[in-house]
Amino acid sequence: MNVLLTGAKGMLAADVKITAPESVSLIETDLEELDITDADAVLAFCDDHHPDLILNCAAYTAVDNAESNCETAFAINERGPANLAAACSRLSIPFVHVSTDFVFFGDGSHELSEDDRPAPRGVYAESKRAGEIAIERAGCPWLTVRTSWLYGLRGKNFPDTMLGLAAERDRLTVVHDQKGSPTYACDLARALWQLIEKNAQGYVHFSNRGVCSWFDFAVETIRQAKDIGLLSADRHVEVVPVTSDEFKRPAPRPEYSGMSTEKFTRLTGCPPRLWQEALKDFLTEKYREQSKQPC
């Protein structure tokens, strides 16, 4: 199967490539090879390369910057997916897209299911929801996988930020009143291939299992990093919980966006692992990579 992969230089795509089944031949593209916001370029590229499926890992993910870069956010998060889905409709092939927990208002306390009503707040969230709607209307077979709190070995992410700060500071302040489900990019990549193999369609939520606050996530990251050796065991770092009001950001965030993965488990027969287990693998792999670096 020939799979056109967009956003090939991104964090998620790095793991999509590593976990791809042997039966898959990837057509890797990033902005240099294909501008997904250009409808004619997308159609021409597909006519030249004849993909059997398009997997879209391209996205504008700078949540706060989106507030002042509305046009760019909508171009990449709405027009791009719309163009790719239109090409899939023309070729009668499936389109697989990755979306976000931000499409929900997130003021509840239950894990979000595929049946919950989207209510995005902020430019980033609105642009991602607009992309979802454009895909629905394109007329191709489609699968949109919503995920949350994504981190991985390639690219900027929350655990890396916490580790960097913990190495420099004795005191960190982290928000405790926003809760969600951390997701290791490697696990999401495997989940995407599992869903593609099952010919899944519609909306599916995937994250690692369990819900925590950013404060909990930071504390667990530092604790495990000490156990593994990424941080000195005798380094004392105080993590202080603060409210969202004390840590103002330009874009609004969901207060609670834990993901229900019941549908994913039902489709694949494979429940996601706990977020703490996935975090341990991530940190262990970081330690291995760090150990390989020359002194």
Catalytic residue among 124, 184, 203, 256: 124
Give the whole-angstrom CA distance, residue 176 versus residue 246.
11
List all residues 6 or more positions away from 266 whose beta carbon is below 8 Å from its beta carbon. Answer: none
Contact 229, 169 (CB under 8 A): no
- The CA–CA distances, whole Å, from 92 to 14, 42, 57, 84, 173 equal 27, 15, 20, 12, 50
- In terms of Cβ atoms closer than 10 Å to its own Cβ (0-12, 13-18, 19+), residue 102 is buried
| 287, containing H or E segment | helix 275-292
- Cα separation, 33 vs 18, in Å, equals 20
Residue with tokens 């046009």, as numbered in its chain:
71
Do residues 277 and 183 touch, judged by C-beta distance below 8 A? no
Residue type for 128, please?
K
Q: What is the DSSP letter of 206?
A: -
Contact yes or no for 107/166 (Cβ under 8 A):
no
203 is catalytic: no
Give catalytic residues, as residue numbers.
124
